[in-house]
Structure formats: structure tokens, C-alpha cells
Amino acid sequence: MSQLAEPRTMTAERPGGDALVSVRNLTKRFPITRGIIFQREIARVHAVEDVSFDIFPGETLGLVGESGSGKSTTARLITKLIDATSGSVVFDGQEITGYSRRQMRPLRREMQMIFQDPYSSLNPRQTVGQIIGSPYAIQGGERNVRRRVQELMNRVGLNPEHFNRYPHEFSGGQRQRIGVARALALSPKLIICDEPVSALDVSIQAQILNLLEGLQQDFNLTYLFISHDLSVVRHISDRIAVMYLGHVVEVGSAEELYENPKHPYTASLLSAVPQGTGGGHHRVVLAGDVPSPIDPPPGCVFHTRCPKARMVSGSPDEVPENCRTEFPPLGEVEPRHLAACWYPLKAGEELRQAAHR
């Protein structure tokens, strides 16, 4: 495993060098069809819309957003499990957007995924050894494979003697460790973690988060960390991107984004997180529900619920014209802190409760 272990050179701050992953104007619309013989497209789900961001080597980019905001779809687009409607993904200097399956094959080992549900993502009929070792098996040498698998098991905190056991014999947290070991087996550059701890009990969550952090240092890994749990994301991420209804609305360092959110959606989202401090904190309760991604609002997709737009207009029932008609570009509001908003929040500005409830 020694060839994996390079010292970690990147610092938490954005290194400024070349990105490992560059996503540009990525868009995915899922057709909704009717009819059995002749399938007619009747609508489209705007799952991911014009999304751009970079992931730098050695960092953890957190991707947060509510259910249905397009986080998993973004992950599937980056790994090319599904094809984009438009836009591009550059991975490690290669434009992979138009790659065929065969062209992707050598890259597959470089990007691995860890999923939320450790139960359904492991083949129940394979032993742990087979699951973790299958990528090595091609390279032959049974004893060798076994040794390496056991090294990995040891590293992720599994008992290497349990090599021949089946997934159902392990607890949820241990199964997630199996998933982590499998992802590590091919020494990937990028690991995409899609809600890796959401299904676990709190006491087990911390074990897995610590494990992921330790592995990142040992193997110089880059993570895209998807979660709806804002406390977890803040804990693990260097930078964070916030999604709403298919759009990335804000990107910044974890520190900046939490201390000084620029987008009114980010600010509302953060204020909704229970602080565990006995209430009392200023909470912006957003009115209404997230609109349907089949028929997203025109202009800024957040304008239907945005408290800031109502503060600007001075009326609970009105929003400024540009919010209604034009989607604001994701632009730098402060150095390395991007937001897609016509009226980004100023430092220390508090959102007043939207009066339209």
C-alpha cells in the first residue's frame, strides 16, 4: 500500500493550482415520458442547471442542499454514471464529457463513490474479502490480494480476520467501513461520498467521519462530500457549495460561508439548523415549499421564497424585477466567495422574517 501513501502537501486553503475536477455549466434534464409504445416527452425535470465549480487536489468540497436539489445527480454526472444534457466535466486535465465507456474505464479507478446505504451498495453474496479485493483480482496472485485486502481492512478499522464473512454479519457502521475500503482499493484520486453517514447512529457517525479525515491525510485524497446535514458538512469540508433547485447558489470556504453567508438561501438554511443552544437564535423560517423542478420559477429560482428580495422591494408581496426575470450569475462577491444573487447579503446583515406567510 506504500505507493498510496504520499505525504499530504495541500493545505486547507484553496491551493490555487490546477483543479482535479472542473465542472462547467453542467446541466441535466430528465425527460418525463408518457405512453407505452410511443413514448412522448411531456415534461422535463430540471435536476441540475448550469452548475460550475472546481475541486482542488487534497481538499474536501462539501455539497449541501435540500432533498431534490440535485446533489446526487451532480455526483453521477461527474462520474459519468449518467450523461449530461450539456456542459463539461474536466477530470485531472482530461475533458471527459464526450468519453465513451471504454475511454472512461481507466478513469473509473481514479474516482470512487461511497454511498449512503451501506446495505444495498454491497453484494450480499460476496465475502468482504471478495468485495474489497475484486479490483485487485484482475491483477492476479491470490495470496497477494489477500494480504492487501487485509491491510486495507485493518486501516479502516475492520478485523482482518473477518475476511471471509458476509456483509449481513456486520453492523451498519462496519458495513460503511467495508464501502470505504472498497473505494480505497484502487488508490483513487477522488472519492465522492454521497451521504456517507446519514444512515448511521450518531455515535457511529463520528467514527466514520474521523476515519475519512484520517484517510484523506494518509493518502492525499480529494473528497466531494454530499450531505444534507449542515453540521457534518461544516465539520469535514474545506470549501462548500450550496445547491437549490438544481443551481449552485453559493461557493466559499467553510468558514466564510457559515460566518458570512452571501446568498439569502444559504443564510435561511443555516438559520434553520438547530444549534443545540436552547433556541433563542435568530431563525428565518422560509415560507412555503421548494417549487417543483419540473416547472422551476423564472428568473432566480429562489425568488418565490426569498426574504431578501422582499426586503429590497419593501413589500411582502413584491420582489424586484431582475429577481423575477433573470437568473443572477454565480459571481465573486468577496475574494474566493461566490454567490448567485442580485442582492447578496452584506457582512453582518440579518434577514428579516419574510412577512408573507
Which positions lie near ligand ATP, rule CB under 6 A?
30, 45, 47, 65, 67-73, 228, 293
116 lines the binding site for Mg ion (CB under 5 A): no
- Bridge-based pairing of strands 86-91 and 190-194 is unpaired
Cell of 178: 467495508
In the complex, what is the shortest distance from the CB of residue 244 to ligand ATP, in angstroms, rounded to a whole number? 10
93 lines the binding site for another protein (CB under 8 A): no
Stretch that binds another protein, among 31-39, 147-155, 280-288, 325-333 (CB under 8 A): 280-288
345 lines the binding site for another protein (CB under 8 A): no
Name 249's bridge partners: none
Out of 22, 60, 69, 72, the residue judged to bind Mg ion by CB under 5 A: 72
Amino acid at 296: P
Out of 32, 285, 294, 355, the residue judged to bind another protein by CB under 8 A: 285
In the complex, what is the shortest distance from the CB of residue 249 to another protein, in angstroms, rounded to a whole number? 14
Site track for another protein across 138-177, x = CB under 8 A: ---------------------------------x-xx---
- Closer Cβ to another protein, 137 or 355, answer by number: 355
* One-character DSSP codes across 292-325: PTTSPPSSSTTTTT-HHHHHHHTSTT---HHHHH
Cα-to-chain-centroid distance, residue 214: 19
CA distance readout (Å), 273 to 1, 117, 276 = 41, 24, 9
- 343/341 Cα distance (integer angstroms): 5
Amino acid at 301: V
If you count DSSP H runs as helices and E runs as strands, how many of each does the chain have, helices first? 11, 12
- Closer Cβ to another protein, 133 or 173, answer by number: 173
- Closer Cβ to ligand ATP, 76 or 155, answer by number: 76
283 lines the binding site for another protein (CB under 8 A): yes
Close Cβ partners of 113 (under 8 Å, ≥ 6 residues apart): 75, 79, 183, 191, 192, 193, 194
Stretch that binds another protein, among 121-129, 140-148, 265-273, 295-303 (CB under 8 A): 265-273
Cell of 215: 484517510
In the complex, what is the shortest distance from the CB of residue 47 to ligand ATP, in angstroms, rounded to a whole number? 3
- Closer Cβ to Mg ion, 48 or 132, answer by number: 48
45 binds, among another protein, Mg ion, ligand ATP, none (CB under 5 to 8 A by kind): ligand ATP
73 lines the binding site for Mg ion (CB under 5 A): no
Cell of 80: 459519468
Helix (H, G, I), strand (E, B) or coil at 235: helix
Closest CA to 337 of 264, 222, 249: 249
- 70/137 Cα distance (integer angstroms): 35
274 lines the binding site for another protein (CB under 8 A): yes
Cell of 308: 431578501
121 lines the binding site for Mg ion (CB under 5 A): no
Which positions lie near Mg ion, rule CB under 5 A? 72
Which positions lie near another protein, rule CB under 8 A? 66-67, 171, 173-174, 201-207, 209-210, 228, 230-232, 234-236, 254-255, 258, 268-280, 283, 285-286, 288-290, 357
